[in-house]
Amino acid sequence: MAIEGNSHVDCARLRYVVKNLTQFLLTCNYARPPGCGQPIYRFRSVGCQAGRNNKKHSSLGSLMELFRCLFTGHRHSKSHI
């Protein structure tokens, strides 16, 4: 949502075909830069099967965490993105 104080916007689109019908998704993210010296993530991730990320980003899940693509049903890890 665009609100006062946001300084960044980024949009992404995705086009794919399901049963000969072309689907189109569009999403936009609005953000403000983090305060200098302030953590971006305050709470560590929960439910990650592959553990935590490295020390610098310890609140995030591991790059080896598997997730299922909602569009294809295939399983991937973040390291392949």
Task: Give the pLDDT of the chain (81 residues) as one tens digit per residue.
Answer: 666 677 788 899 999 999 999 999 999 888 877 666 666 666 766 778 888 877 777 777 788 887 777 767 676 666 544
Domain boundaries of the chain, sorted by first residue: 8-80
State the DSSP code for 52. B
**6 by DSSP, 3-state: which?**
coil
Under 8 Å CB-to-CB from 22, ≥6 apart: which residues?
A: 15, 16
